[in-house]
Amino acid sequence: MDSPVFAAETLGLTKRYPLAWKRRVVVALNKLDLQVRPGEVFGLLGPNGSGKSTTIKLLLGLIRPNEGEARIFGLGPDDLEARRRIGFLPENPYFYGFLTGDETLQFFGKLCGLRGAKLTARINELIDLVSLQNGRERPLRSYSKGMLQRIGLAQAMIHDPDLLFLDEPTAGVDPQGSAQIRDLILRLKKMGKTVIFSSHLLEQVQEVADRVAIFSLGRKVLEGSLDDLLTEKEATLVSVPGELTDARRDELERLLAQSGFTGANVQFSRPRLSLEQLYLRTVEAERQP
């Protein structure tokens, strides 16, 4: 059987930066082995400086490793076919402030070889996808941070890549804007795209990622599917609608005791909303006419 072709794969990938006085080096990434399957949404987590952006830049071929290898759909990152299949939203995207949203997408579309009616159709499609109808005619210098991130996402998708690298796509974006970006990532997944993204917003990562890797000081210290990592194997939570009256609680405790569940092992609690759920629910309720 053929070995599977990963959307992105690294083998012993290592990046060192010499410090100014050359005697010491920063190990930005240390022997990273990573495999991302086609169609997966993969989250890169970790504190500032732990190697997330370095991993993305090495996979994109923007910087060279000191050791190891990066592969995109089985090809080297410099391979033209690999480049055609990837899109990138950088950590701090740089755009021309005097171009409008439409002009920006025309500019990047032309760089990717798109022209005429095909380009116009693609721009219309992307503007809808990232909900930037109100930014089409406005220069980017008047955009809010959330709008800039969305035009950045549209730019990354202009050539319909199979694999998207998003370096902190929701950095500085308000909760509603972040939720839109989260929904966009889920839509990309439905379209069969592979998304590799970094983020510090753990709740959001939890909502979109299939698998995550956690980095610390250039090393991958934990990796797995969220289902596996977040399922508490030592307990089962049972939820019932509404509040539990004392009488029903006693009744349940008796039933549980009959099955051998007693004392401190048995806990009753009300499920909690995440802060993000509460915020979005409140803000969205306010917006209803």
Q: CB nearer to ligand ATP: give 39 or 49.
A: 49
Residues listed for the chain: 289
| Smallest distance from ligand ATP to CB 42, Å | 15
Task: Check residue 48 for interaction with ligand ATP (CB under 6 A).
Answer: yes
For residue 20, the minimal CB distance to ligand ATP (Å) is: 9
Does 52 engage in binding with ligand ATP (CB under 6 A)? Answer: yes
Q: Is 204 in the site for ligand ATP (CB under 6 A)?
A: no
Residue 54 binding partner per list ligand ATP, Mg ion, none, with a CB distance cut-off of 5 to 8 Å that depends on partner kind: ligand ATP
Q: Which is nearer to ligand ATP, 91 or 276 (CB)?
A: 91
Window contacting ligand ATP (CB under 6 A); options: 3-11, 45-53, 226-234, 239-247: 45-53
Residue 218 gets the label, from left (phi > 0), alpha (psi -120 to 50) or beta, of left
Q: Which of 261, 253, 273 is nearest to 236 (CA)?
A: 261
Q: How far is the CB of 27 from ligand ATP (least distance, A)?
A: 8
Question: Looking at 43, 51, 87, 152, which residue binds ligand ATP (CB under 6 A)?
Answer: 51
Backbone φ and ψ of 196, nearest 5°: -115, 120
3-state secondary structure (DSSP) of residue 163: strand
Q: Measured between alpha carbons, how far is residue 174 from residues 48, 123, 168 in Å?
A: 20, 25, 13
Q: Which of 10, 14, 54, 100 binds ligand ATP (CB under 6 A)?
A: 54
Query: Of Mg ion, ligand ATP, none, which one sits near residue 49, judging by CB under 5 to 8 A according to partner kind?
Result: ligand ATP
Interface residue with ligand ATP, options 7, 8, 13, 28 (CB under 6 A): 28
> Could you tell me which residues are beta bridge partners of residue 70?
10
Residue of 17, 96, 261, 268 that binds ligand ATP (CB under 6 A)? 17
Structure-token pair, residue 212: 């995550």
With contacts defined by CB under 6 A, name the span among 1-9, 52-60, 113-121, 177-185 that binds ligand ATP: 52-60
49 contributes a contact to ligand ATP by CB under 6 A? yes
178, interface contact from Mg ion, ligand ATP, none, CB < 5-8 Å by kind: none
Say if CB 191 and CB 129 are below 8 A apart: no
Half-sphere exposure of 15 (CA within 13 A, CB side): 24
Measuring CA to CA, which residue among 91, 78, 73 is closest to residue 7? Answer: 73
Rule CB under 5 A: which of 31-60 touch Mg ion? 52-53
Residue nearest to Mg ion (CB): 53
Cα–chain center distance at 79: 24
Residue by residue, DSSP assigns 148-159 as HHHHHHHHHHTT
Helix axes 101-111, 145-157, angle to 10 degrees: 30
Nearest approach in angstroms of CB 171 to ligand ATP is 9
Q: Residue 288 carries which DSSP code?
A: -
Q: Which is nearer to ligand ATP, 33 or 251 (CB)?
A: 33
Lay out the sheet containing 25-36: strands in order across: 25-36, 8-18, 67-72
Q: Which residues contact 85 (CB under 8 A, 6 or more apart)?
A: 72, 73, 161, 162, 163
Query: Which residues form the interface with Mg ion (CB under 5 A)?
Result: 52-53
Query: Which residues form the interface with ligand ATP (CB under 6 A)?
Result: 17, 26, 28, 46, 48-54, 91
